[in-house]
Amino acid sequence: MSEHDYYPAHARLDAVLDTFPNGVHVQEIELILSDHPDVPSWKALDPVVCHLDAGRARELAFELLMLAEHAEQLERDPETW
């Protein structure tokens, strides 16, 4: 990994349920990527915060699941790469 990679990821539900004039309710999910906790503060990258609605969070979760399954397959059989 390069010196600009992010390590820990945290997710939480936003405390506010947004209601739009058309009656649609949106509960945002906040995804926070931060630098490795052992990096000195003067060298640490600023956290990246991304707000997702439920649909986009589901899409991201699906893509992460697919990548994890592929990574596990490569770990079992590196020749498939």
Exposed, middle or buried: residue 35 (CB in 10 Å: 0-12, 13-18, 19+)?
Answer: buried
Residue carrying the six token digits 């995804």: 31
Dump pLDDT digits (tens) for 28-81.
Answer: 898 888 887 888 888 888 888 998 988 999 999 999 999 999 999 999 988 877
27 C-beta neighbours (distance < 10 Å), count: 13
Report the pLDDT value the prediction gives residue 6, as an integer from 0 to 100.
65
Prediction pTM value: 0.67
